[in-house]
Amino acid sequence: MDFAIILLVTIAACFALRNPVKACPTAFYAVAIAVDVLFVFGSTVGLPRAVWSPLFVLIQKCELSLAMFVVVMFIGCLAKESRACKWLKPIRSELSIIAWFLSLGHMAVYLESYLPRIFGGGAISGNVMGAFALAIVLLVLLIVLGVTSFAFVKKTMRTETWKKVQKLAYPFFGLVYVHLLLMLLPSALHGGLAAQASVAVYSVVFVGYGLCRTGRALLDRQDAGAPARASAPSFSEEPDLVS
């Protein structure tokens, strides 16, 4: 349930901070990096509980970064002429980069934690091993998507190549959902109420996105005068992790 609250606060913050983010994105990037540094420091040296507890939820559980990615992805579901789309679309790239920076702390600490256990021959359950393997794939996708989201990198790439690369946002988002299920389902199936609540919330978000994005693609095709194919919807050329 923490994620539902964090997502709502993140949505409100994205609307409220839209102008500052657009005016000075580097300041927000610097804050995200500083939070990562503080988190990594706290995971190795320790921090007061009042500081570590929110960092654990927001960064170690990657809930703040995920909430921002959810906002970025759902912007692609909004009608292009809607006020929400016009307000948030100009900072879509900046939001994705902030989320990318925040996710790096999560990745670094988990890799440092799991690599010795896996290569040291420790006992690891099948679902954790599967989640770790999937995390490696997500890390590769995240690096590619994050690096190519920067404007100076985009300028060095051919437009068509850049668009194809950014389409990796779709499998990335879907694999994040699979990763979460691998980590949560065992506990949820054994009666863990917190895990069950988390699975329910994540399912609403990710399945809801799939339905909304497909619906938006079909509506866009109809508006363009092309016949819609419900069995194989074609997503718009605009990628989801950048503006």
List pLDDT tens digits, range 5-52: 999 999 999 999 999 999 999 999 999 999 999 998 988 888 899 999
Can you say whether the dihedral through the CA atoms of 17, 20, 21, 25 is positive or negative? negative
Share of the chain above pLDDT 70, in %: 85
**Any idea which residue has 């994050």 for tokens?**
146
Torsion of CA 142, 41, 25, 243, to 10 degrees: 10
Selection from 213, 149, 204 nearest residue 180 by Cα:
204
pLDDT at 123: 59
| pLDDT tens, residue by residue, 52-69 | 999 989 998 889 999 999
| Helix-, strand-, coil-residue percentages of the chain, each rounded to 5 | 80, 0, 20
Which residue is listed with tokens 């497909």? 214
Tokens of 153: 């990198």
> Is the pLDDT score of 235 beyond 50?
no
Spatial CA neighbour of 171 closest among 147, 137, 217, 201: 137
The rounded distance, in Å, linking the Cα atoms of 110 and 98 is: 19
Q: Alpha carbon of 114 to those of 110, 135, 140, 201: distances in Å?
A: 6, 11, 17, 26
Stretch 98-114: mean pLDDT: 83
Identity of the highest mean pLDDT range in 90-104, 147-161, 209-223, 227-241: 90-104
Predicted TM-score (pTM) of the model is: 0.84
229 vs 40, more confident: 40
* 156 pLDDT more than 60: yes
Cβ-based neighbours of 197, under 8 Å, separated by 6 or more: 1
